[in-house]
Amino acid sequence: MAAHTIPPVADFSLTFLGTGTSVGVPVIGCDCEVCRSEELKNKRFRSSVVVRAGDVTILVDSGPDLRMQALREGLREIDAVIYTHAHLDHVAGFDELRAFCWRKHEPLPLHATEGCMETLVQMYGWAFSPEIFVPGYVRPEARVIDGPFYYGDLKITPLPVTHAAVETIGFLFEYPGAAKVAYISDVKIIPEETMALIRGVDVLVIDALRTVDHPTHFTLAEALAAVEESGAKEAWLTHLTHEFDTETLEAMVPANVHVAWDGLRILGLAHGRSCMAESSGHASADEIRCSGLALSCGIPGVPARGSDAGIGGDFIQFHPAGIEAARGDLPRGAGDSDGERDRVGHAGEGGHFA
């Protein structure tokens, strides 16, 4: 494969700290093929990402796996936390934020909707109380989200969606010179006002829980329909149950849709273009750079495919309107499975994993 000139790199990245549903994968007590798999891409912490833009680092949600996610990614400092909603799989790691306060003299900004902030204050009142200050513990500065806001040159726009009965948002990230990225991890309905904000986005990260209908999450079919309606040039599926084997699902979805995995890092390059390649799996996070986005993966043991030349591998040119992916012998299909139900019972919403 011929090498191509690499365009100037926008100093922007989005790293998947977790891509799993509320119970994670593998699931406690489950012996299904995915839960017993040795494939590291099938091991999913609760969904979260970290966004880096210039010298700014933003954590999205603080789920129950935050400690292990931060250790795996070498995450030492953050400038703020932005919350999608107040479900436990997105806030239960709140106390782990203390580690990010040790190196800060000022409080740690926490951005959330009014409803989410009220829940955080109710759950972790000791941290928000002005009468209580304990050195070494979480020192938050509550900032209610009421519209777009900035960290340096990074513009963050809230994306209101419907997800259960809790106030829920996604985020649109815009950074000069980088691809426009929308992140919507938990959703059942995308209102037209929000769809208008993400229409034509370069990269859409979207909830795709499973194949069977769920009362509060997109199914795979609903996620694919949202990708098509939005006109996103590229999409990544997240918040996945143990129904999905990563490689099997990757072979089923349209060419511009891909399955995210824990440790995957998307690097923003030229605005309006995107690319995909199976990337490295070394702790040094080898990178494959293209004329749109580049990917890297810091999970030890996940091998690169087609990455044996140049900086981290061959340079691959992709069409700006989608991914002309070099997928080896993987077949491409148009649909999902027949929607078999989760293989382990669950007493939560609808009797199935969320």
If you write DSSP's letter for every residue of 126-159 in order, what string do you get?
HHH-TT---TTS--EEEEE--S-EEETTEEEEEE
Percent of the chain scoring above 90 in pLDDT: 69
Quick one: pLDDT at residue 114?
98
Question: Above 80 in pLDDT, residue 2?
Answer: no
The pLDDT assigned to 337 comes to 30
- What is the token pair recorded at 110? 């926490």
Matching residue, tokens 């491409």:
332
For the purposes of burial, counting CB atoms within 10 Å of the CB of 344, is it exposed (0-12), middle (13-18) or buried (19 or more)?
A: middle
Least confident of 31-45, 86-100, 111-125, 263-277: 263-277
Domains of the chain: 12-326 (3.60.15.10)
**In terms of C-beta distances under 8 Å and separation of at least 24 residues, what long-range contacts does 5-8 make, across chains too?**
6/269, 6/289, 6/291, 6/315, 7/269, 7/270, 7/291, 8/177, 8/269
- The residues near 165 (Cβ < 8 Å, ≥ 6 apart) are none
Task: Please answer whether residues 287 and 280 qualify as being in contact, where contact means their C-beta atoms are separated by less than 8 angstroms.
Answer: yes
117, pLDDT greater than 60? yes
Q: Which amino acid is at 308?
A: D
E-assigned strands of the chain? Answer: 12-18, 48-53, 56-60, 80-82, 108-112, 140-144, 149-151, 154-161, 168-174, 181-184, 203-207, 234-238, 257-259, 264-268, 287-288, 293-297
pLDDT above 70: percentage of residues in the chain: 73
pLDDT value of position 347: 30
pLDDT tens readout for residues 302-329: 433 333 222 222 222 222 223 222 222 3
The rounded distance, in Å, linking the Cα atoms of 142 and 167 is 17
pLDDT of 15 higher than 90: yes
Which pLDDT does position 131 carry in this prediction? Answer: 82
**Buried b vs exposed e over 289-324: b needs ≥16 C-beta within 10 Å?**
bbbbbbbbbbbeebebebbeeeebbbbbbbeeebbe
Which range has the top average pLDDT, 5-9, 123-127, 206-210? Answer: 206-210
Find tokens 């702790």 and name the residue.
Answer: 283
pTM recorded for the entire structure:
0.80
Provide the pLDDT for residue 269: 58
> How large is the average pLDDT for residues 278-292?
35
pLDDT of residue 134: 75
- Bridge-based pairing state of the strands 80-82 and 56-60: parallel
- DSSP 8-state class, residue 95: G
CB count within 10 Å of CB 273 equals 20
**CA dihedral in degrees (330, 336, 341, 346; nearest 10)?**
80
- Give the model confidence (pLDDT) of 133-180 as tens digits: 777 889 999 999 999 999 999 999 999 999 999 999 999 999 999 999
Task: Report how far residue 313's alpha carbon sits from residue 91's, in angstroms, rounded to the nearest whole number.
Answer: 37
Higher-pLDDT residue of 104 and 149 is 149
pLDDT at 79: 97
Name the band, by pLDDT with cuts 50, 70 and 90, for residue 295: low
Q: Tell me which DSSP letter residue 39 carries.
A: -
For residue 336, pLDDT beyond 60: no
**pLDDT tens-digit map of 32-91:** 999 999 999 999 999 999 999 999 999 999 999 999 999 999 999 999 999 999 999 999
**Mean pLDDT, to the nearest integer, of 97-125?**
95
